[in-house]
Every structure is written in structure tokens, then in C-alpha cells.
Structure 1
Amino acid sequence: MKRMMLLSAALSLVAGSAAAQSLPDLMKQMIAAWNKPTEPFRVIDNIYYVGTNGLASYLIATPQGHILIDTVMPESTAQIESSIGKLGFKVADIKYIINTHAHIDHTGGLAQIKQETGAQMVAGAKDVPLLEGGFYPGREEEKHLNFPPVKVDRAVREGDTVVLGGVTLTAHETPGHSPGCTSWTTSVKDGDATRSVIFFCSATVALNQLVGRPTYPGIVDDYKKTYAWAKTVHPDIMLAPHPEMYGMADKRAKIVAGEPSPFVRPGEFNAYLDRLETQFNEGLAKQTAALQSSK
């Protein structure tokens, strides 16, 4: 969370600055931390972490092929592919690529991996123009936020599913962070138990403008809808695009063969979303006050 807040602050410094031909040192440091390699590992059942040290990417392996959820920064695509190979899987066997939201730190390798594999690209319907245009909404002129455009093969909405090799992923519209921000739920085996899993999109304010000239129309209502929805779901396992969102490193260090999975944390998701809602309300109040004082 701290890294995301620092990066957002760095990006805000760059935004709109005529002198900003290169990224500030702080942003460079954050991106370096994001791109730092880490070893891939099995999270639980057939879900594997194949991202970098600071950005998550997940492989769901099945006998009929694999599902890849999110990529990372454009320059780190090779790390994802290497990690998949280290786990004994083939990049060529990826059948679906799913994107949770259309920001550069989660889309950088989509186009390349889609081209290499012929996998079907799946994303939230309202993020399709962003993915196919390769830009951050409301900041189209800020080229450092652009990413390689990718053609979306299937646009999903609430309740749509991706089914492969006995795995069913269900889409949930959780907009705000991006217009088509989409979270996905599924279930996994944990010994004799069945656990519910959420791949949460995000609900941080980040670079988004909420008032005045909002990042996109209806953004405030979208965030509120997402926070309301989050109170109705209670997953056993929370996964997300940034590993610090769910304490991935600490949990990973506690994995012991034959012992209960440290990733099973009922209630963690709801507590996290409660904190995000508080931060959102504070951010909305701050942006509103700044707008009023500027008039």
C-alpha cells in the first residue's frame, strides 16, 4: 500500500508538468521495485504467482490449458514468461488472458503474450476502449502512462464466466479505479476443504480525479457501488494486482508443506475494503475542498 501511495504521489508530480520530460527519481525507484524479479510459487491448488516483486500476475493451470490474470510493466514481460517456464508450464498453453484493469502496471505484457500464444483476451466491457487505445483515461496526453494497445476478444459484465479445464471464473463489475475494473471469483481445493477466492481489481483513488473534471463521468458513484458490493462477499482468500495489498510476502514466507495455507484469511478482504472506503471518503473530501478553494 505504501508503495502505491508513493507512486501515485510521484505520478501526480509528473502530471501536467511541462518540464517533466522524464519521470521523477521517486517514480523511477518505485518502478525499479515493481520490476525487481522474484521466484514464482504455488499460492494454493492450481493458482500460481508469476509476477514480479512488486506487481502480481497469476497463472491458473488446468489440463486443457492455462489462464493468465494480468501482466506487469511492459519491460518485465520476459519475467512472467520465465516464471511460467520455471514452474514447468508452457507460455504457449495459455488459452485466456484476463485483465483486471487497464493501467500500465497491469497491462504491459498483454499484447505481446496474446500475439505469442493466440490466447483470447478478456476484460471488463468499459475498459475495452482503454486497452485498445493503450492510455489512462483523462490523461491521454501523458505518454509515460501509455502501454502497448491490445485487441480485446471478449468484453465481460457482471456474472459472465470464463470456463476452462474444470475451472470457472466469474466476473464482477467493481468500477471506480478504472471504468471497467473487474474482479474475479472462483474456488479451489485446500486439502479436504473448498475455499472461495477473489482476484480483486482495486478500489484505490490513485491518480483518479473525483470532482471538477473527473477521470470519467460517474466515477464517484462507481466507487460507492464497489464498496457496497464488497460488503456482500466474504472470500476465504484475497489476491490482488499489487502483492502488498494482501501481504503476499509475509504469507509466502509462512508456506509449509502439509500445514494450513497462510493465504486462507476469511474476513481479510472485507477489512481491507473498509480501509479503502475510508481512504476514498477522505480523498473525495480533500479534492472537493481543493476545488472549492480554487473558485
Structure 2
Amino acid sequence: MKRITLLTAALTLVAGPAAAQSLPDFMKQVIAAWNTPTEPFKVIDNVYYVGTNGLASYLITTPQGHILIDTVMPESTAQIEASIAKLGFKVADIKYVINTHAHIDHTGGLAQIKQETGAQMVAGAKDVPLLEGGFYPGREEQTYLNFPPVKVDRAVKEGDTVALGGVTLTAHETPGHSPGCTSWTTSVKDGDATRSVIFFCSATVALNQLVGRPTYPGIADDYRKTYAWAKTVHPDVLLAPHPEMYDMAGKRAKIADGAPNPFVKPGEFNAYLDKLETQFNEGLAKQTAALQPAK
């Protein structure tokens, strides 16, 4: 079974300690990987990885304060804070907390960090009801997918920016994975070169229902819009909410003084999105076929 399938299945079954005791061993391993600590590190320029072994969170530092993109599962918020401190930065200096999409594995610590720092909470406009309600759309009855609600201070749409200390992040509407799924782009220095970076939201089908009783109205068309948009952008550096989406571990192992930064990989984003589009079309076909009456 592919890792992304394992991750999806694991998310479906995360129901707290009692339920976890009945999980198959391979599911326990996947969930444990989400929460397993890992050393924080510098990705490129002022962008740092401060997530867990299985879930990404990024700290962008500036002289005027910092920006945190995504958190992890609720129980692992302390790991993010410890990683920030280990890098020599202060959690209290976070001025903006940005969420790419409103799912439990990327929102778990938003409320806590906002409360502790007074940071502004920024997210895609169509994800605001989900973040402030703390639920997964279309699966409200599955309370194990719920997360601590967080008040959104600023709802963004296509082209909006967050600027701090010489850093500008630009929002891009990439819906489908969630209604307000938002990807962010910026530029960083890589020696004498300037590199474009995308913090991609996601475009996997995951738990979403595309037809019949869709997760939300227009979801299939939203995915198609995102895949079309992806063909128009060509970032040098791909970062995403799950580290395996861009082979974080493999690239990290290649970091060496004086060597080219392994995270600079033009074309990777476009190849990855082409693969996701194929998987989407296959998933749509399967879900559509499942609705057809048996002959």
C-alpha cells in the first residue's frame, strides 16, 4: 500500500487513545510517525522546518518577527515550540500564523500558539468556517476529525499578501483538498541566486467525496482549477504539509556545506501535480462507478 494511502487511512481512524488501541499495527506505526519528533533544520535562507517527523510546519524568520505556516496534531504542539527554541528563535516573536488548509493534522496547534503569542491568524476565506468550527466538512459527525477551533483574524483570497520584515508571502487559491485550500509563494536567497518557493496546500483526494454527496459543492471543479493553475507556475523549491510529498528526508540527508541546496529542484512541483491530477481522475472515475446501479 502506498504511503499516501496509509496516511489517509490513518487520519480516518484517529479517534483518541481508546480507539488507537484497536488499530492494526501498521496504522499505529503511521500515526506514531506523525507525532515522532525530528530535529529542526534550516531549509533555505530564512525558512526552517519545525514540524514533526511526519507533519510539516515552517518558520520564516525576519528581523521584525516571524511567520509560522501550519501546525501539526494537537498533542504535538509542544514539539513545534521546542524546535523553534532549539533553533535559537522565540515562539513569542511569531507575528503571523498561516494555515494552508483546515484539517486536524495541520491545525492542531493553531489555537494554542495564537493564544500564547497574540499572532494574527491568516487563512483562506472559504476555510474560515471550518477553522472557527473545528471540523472536517461533510464529516461533521466524525468527531475524531475535530480540532481546537481558532478565530481567524484575516481571511485571504487570490493575490493577497502577508508582509513582515522584508518577507512577502502571496496567497494563491488552490481549492479542492479543502474549500479554502491556500498555497503561498515567496522568494529566498540561495547564495547569489534568488529562488522561488511554494508552500503548497495539497491536492490529494484524501477523505473527500467528489460525486454523489460531495464533501462540498463544486469540489471536483475546484480540483480541476487547481491542477490547471499548477501548470502555470514553476517554483524552484517545493514545500508541502506532509514531508514525503517532496522527499524531505532524502533532501535533508544531502545538505552539506558548500554543496548546492538539495531543496532547489525546478520542475519537481509540476511533475508532482501531474501525478496528483492522474490520481484525482482515477479517484473520480472510481467514485462515479460506485454510484452506478449493479447490473
Q: TM-score, normalised by structure 1?
A: 0.95
CA distance in 2, matches of 1:210, 1:285: 10
Distance in 2 separating the partners of 1:294 and 1:128: 40
Distance across 2 between alignment mates of 1:111 and 1:198: 24
User: How far apart are the structure 1 equivalents of 2:2 and 2:252?
Assistant: 19
CA separation of 1:41/1:11 partners in 2, compared to 1, >3 Å: closer, same or farther?
A: closer
Distance verdict in 2 for CA 1:155–1:256, change over 3 Å: same
Any idea what the Cα deviations from partners look like across 1:194-246, whole Å, max 9, x if unmatched?
00000000000000000000000000000000000000000000000000000
CA contact (8 A) 1:11 1:27 kept: no
Counterpart position of 1:260: 260
* Offset, 1:2: 3.4
Say yes or no: does 1:218 pair with 2:218.
yes
* Shift, 1:8, TM fit: 1.7
The answer as to whether partners of 1:66 and 1:94 remain within 8 angstroms in 2 is: yes
In 1, Cα distance between equivalents of 2:27 and 2:137: 20
Shift of 1:257: 1.1
Q: Are the aligned partners of 2:124 and 2:157 in contact in 1 as well (CA < 8 Å)?
A: yes
Q: Residue type matched to 2:149 in 1?
A: P
Letter of the structure 2 residue corresponding to residue 22 of structure 1: A
Q: Which amino acid aligns with 2:293?
A: S
Q: 1:2 to 1:84 in 2, by over 3 A?
A: farther
Q: Which runs of 4+ in 1 moved over 4 A?
A: none
Instruction: Check conservation: 2:10, 2:31, Cα contact below 8 A.
Output: no
* CA displacement at 1:56 relative to structure 2: 0.2
Unaligned runs of 5+ in 2: none
Q: Which residue of 1 aligns with 2:155?
A: 155
1:196 correspondence with 2:193 = no
Alpha-carbon distance in 1 for matches of 2:33, 2:255? 23
**Structure-2 change in CA distance of 1:205 and 1:241 (3 Å):** same
In 1, are the aligned partners of 2:134 and 2:149 still within 8 Å (CA)? Answer: yes
More displaced, 21-30 or 54-63? 21-30
User: Letter of the aligned partner of 1:77 in structure 2?
Assistant: T
Q: Give 1:29 shift.
A: 2.8
Give the corresponding residue for 1:286.
286
Q: What residue identity is the alignment partner of 2:71?
A: T
Tell me whether 29-38 or 190-199 shows the greater mean CA deviation: 29-38
- State the 1:46 CA deviation: 0.1
Distance 1:42 1:7 in 2: 26
1:100 paired to 2:100: yes
CA contact (8 A) 1:52 1:80 kept: yes
TM-score (structure 2 length as normaliser): 0.95
* CA deviation profile, 1:222-279 (whole Å, cap 9, x unmatched): 0000000000000000000000000000000000112110000000000000000000
2:86 maps to which residue? 86
Q: Pairwise mapping of residues 41-80 of structure 1 onto structure 2 (< 5 A)?
A: 41-80=41-80
Question: Partner amino acid for 2:196?
Answer: S
C-alpha separation in 2, matches of 1:81 and 1:38: 13
CA distance in 1, matches of 2:169, 2:148: 26
Aligned-partner Cα distance in 1 for 2:55–2:8: 15
- Equivalent AA in structure 1 for residue 245 of structure 2: M
- The 2-side partners of 1:55 and 1:289 are apart by 33
Deviations 1:49-96 (A, max 9, x none): 000000000000000000000000000000000000000000000000
1:18 equivalent in structure 2: none
How many residues were matched structurally? 290
What amino acid sits opposite 2:100 in the alignment? Answer: T
Residue 207 (1) aligns with residue 207 (2): yes
CA root-mean-square deviation: 1.6
Amino acid at match of 2:192: D
Is 1:180 paired with 2:180?
yes
Unaligned runs of 5+ in 1: 16-20
